[in-house]
C-alpha cells in the first residue's frame, strides 16, 4: 500500500514531468473552500496568441487524473488553433466535481476571478459539464470569456458549428477512402448523442446515411431513433457494428488496442477530443489496419473557429464558412500522411507544430 506522503510526492513529480513532457508553460491550481471550487487551468503554448480553451467540469477519480486530462486537453487546443490558422494559443481548465450537484453561481464566479487573475493569458469558454449560462456567471468576474449567448453579443452554443466541421470532415475522409464524398447508403456508428452528436445526425441524415447510436441518455437515444431512424445499440456494442464510419462524439481515449481490434469500420471521424488513448501506439495501429483516422483536433475545430469569430463581430455564416476549410486541411493532411509514411495524427501534429515554429521565428524579429 502506498503511503499518503509518497502519493503526494508522486503527484508532484508527475505534475512537473507532465508539464515538461510536452513543454507546457503553466498550470494554475485554484482552490476555494467557501464555494468548494477545485480547478486547474493549464496553459500549453501562447506563441500564436492567448491560450483559449473551454472549462470542463468532471467527477475525476483523483487529482492525478484531472492533471493528466487538463494537460492533454490544453495541448490539443494549441494544435487545434494552429492547424486552423487562428492566432490563439492552447489552454484548458478543469473543475473537479459533479456538474449536476456541485455547481453554483458563486463557484463559477469564483472561478471567473481566477481566470481574471491571469490577465488575458487564458480565455475560457464552455465545455463538457458547463453551459453558456455558467459562462455568463464567469463573465460577471472577467472579460476573458467567449461563447456567451447570442443575446449578449456572443456566438452562443458552438456545438452546431462543431458538428458541421465534423460533417465536412467525414465527407473529406470519404473522398480520400472511396474516391467520392457521397455518403448515401453508408452506415455510421455515432457514440454519444449529446450537443454535437445530435446536430451531426441532422446533417448526415439529409445525405441518406443510416445510423447506429449509443448513449446513456435514453431521451437522446429515443430522439435519434424517432427523428433519424437510428438503430440504438447498448453499451460498448457500438464498437462491433458493421458501420463503415465510426464517429466518437462522447469522451476521449476510446480508440485503443481493445477497440481497434473490434472495430470493422474504414474511417474514424468524430467530435471527441483526444480520441486516441496513446497517439504513438494507436495512430500507427489504425494505419496498419487500414482505418483512415481524421485527427480529432482538426476535425472538431468548428467550435473554436466559432468562438474565435466573436473577436471580429460574430456572424454565424462567417463561422460556418471558415469551418468549411476543415475539408481542405484534412485532405492535405491525408496527402502528407501518405507522402511521408506517417500516421494521420502525426501528420496533423507536424503541420500544427510547423506553424507555431514559423510564427515564433517571425515574432523573434524586430
CB 119 within 8 A of CB 79: no
Q: Does 217 bind ligand NAD (CB under 6 A)?
A: yes
Q: Does 349 bind ligand NAD (CB under 6 A)?
A: no
Query: Judged by CB, which is closer to ligand NAD: 287, or 300?
Result: 300
Smallest distance, ligand NAD to C-beta of residue 101, A:
16
Cα–Cα dist 26/91, whole Å? 9
Q: Does 214 bind ligand NAD (CB under 6 A)?
A: yes
Q: How far apart are the first and last CA of the chain?
A: 57
Of positions 57, 71, 138, 191, contacts ligand NAD by CB under 6 A: 191
Of positions 83, 168, 303, 320, contacts ligand NAD by CB under 6 A: 303
Q: Which stretch binds ligand NAD (CB under 6 A): 169-177, 271-279, 281-289, 316-324?
A: 271-279
**Non-local CB neighbours of 262 within 8 Å, separated by 6+ positions:** 239, 240
Q: Does 59 bind ligand NAD (CB under 6 A)?
A: no
DSSP 46: -
Cα–Cα dist 84/352, whole Å? 8
Q: Helix 344-363 vs helix 325-340: angle between axes, to the nearest 10 degrees?
A: 110
Of positions 193, 204, 294, 347, contacts ligand NAD by CB under 6 A: 193
Place of cell 508527475: 14
CB 86 within 8 A of CB 303: no
CB 221 within 8 A of CB 201: no
Q: Does 162 bind ligand NAD (CB under 6 A)?
A: yes
> Which residue in the list 80, 92, 103, 121 is annotated as catalytic?
92
Q: Does 342 bind ligand NAD (CB under 6 A)?
A: no
User: Which residue of the chain is nearest ligand NAD when measured via CB?
Assistant: 194
Give yes or no: 92 in active site.
Answer: yes
CB 18 within 8 A of CB 26: no
Binding site residues, ligand NAD, CB under 6 A:
127-128, 158-159, 162, 191-197, 214-217, 220, 249-251, 271-273, 300, 303
Report the catalytic residues. Answer: 92
Amino acid at each position: 500500500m502506498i503511503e499518503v506522503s509518497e502519493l503526494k510526492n508522486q503527484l508532484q513529480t508527475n505534475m512537473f514531468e507532465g508539464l515538461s513532457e510536452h513543454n507546457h508553460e503553466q498550470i494554475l491550481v485554484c482552490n476555494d473552500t467557501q464555494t468548494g471550487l477545485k480547478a486547474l487551468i493549464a496553459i500549453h503554448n501562447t506563441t500564436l496568441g492567448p491560450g483559449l480553451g473551454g472549462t470542463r467540469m468532471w467527477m475525476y477519480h483523483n487529482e492525478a487524473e484531472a492533471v493528466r486530462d487538463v494537460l492533454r486537453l490544453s495541448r490539443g487546443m494549441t494544435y487545434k488553433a494552429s492547424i486552423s490558422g487562428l492566432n490563439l494559443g492552447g489552454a484548458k481548465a478543469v473543475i473537479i466535481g459533479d456538474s449536476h450537484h456541485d455547481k453554483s453561481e458563486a463557484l463559477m464566479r469564483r472561478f471567473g476571478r481566477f481566470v481574471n487573475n491571469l490577465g488575458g493569458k487564458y480565455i475560457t469558454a464552455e465545455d463538457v459539464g458547463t453551459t453558456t449560462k455558467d459562462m455568463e456567471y464567469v463573465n460577471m468576474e472577467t472579460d476573458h470569456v467567449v461563447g456567451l449567448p447570442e443575446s449578449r453579443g456572443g456566438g452562443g452554443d458552438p456545438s452546431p458549428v462543431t458538428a458541421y466541421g465534423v460533417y465536412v470532415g467525414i465527407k473529406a475522409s470519404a473522398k480520400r477512402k472511396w474516391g467520392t464524398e457521397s455518403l448515401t447508403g453508408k452506415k455510421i456508428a455515432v457514440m454519444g448523442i449529446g450537443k454535437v452528436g445530435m446536430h451531426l445526425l441532422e446533417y448526415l441524415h439529409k445525405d441518406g446515411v443510416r445510423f447506429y447510436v449509443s448513449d446513456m441518455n435514453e431521451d437522446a437515444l429515443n430522439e435519434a431513433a424517432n427523428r433519424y431512424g437510428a438503430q440504438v445499440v447498448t453499451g460498448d456494442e457500438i464498437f462491433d457494428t458493421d458501420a463503415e464510419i465510426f464517429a466518437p462524439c462522447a469522451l476521449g481515449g476510446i480508440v485503443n488496442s481493445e477497440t481497434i481490434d473490434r472495430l470493422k469500420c474504414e474511417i474514424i471521424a468524430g467530435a471527441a477530443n483526444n480520441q486516441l488513448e496513446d497517439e504513438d501506439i494507436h495512430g500507427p495501429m489504425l494505419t496498419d489496419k487500414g482505418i483512415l483516422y481524421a485527427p480529432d483536433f482538426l476535425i472538431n475545430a468548428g467550435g473554436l473557429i466559432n468562438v474565435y469569430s466573436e473577436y471580429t463581430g460574430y456572424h454565424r455564416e462567417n463561422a460556418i464558412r471558415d469551418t468549411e476549410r476543415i475539408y481542405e486541411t484534412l485532405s492535405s493532411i491525408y496527402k502528407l500522411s501518405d507522402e511521408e509514411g506517417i500516421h494521420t495524427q502525426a501528420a496533423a501534429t507536424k503541420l500544427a507544430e510547423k506553424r507555431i515554429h514559423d510564427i515564433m521565428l517571425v515574432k523573434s524579429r524586430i
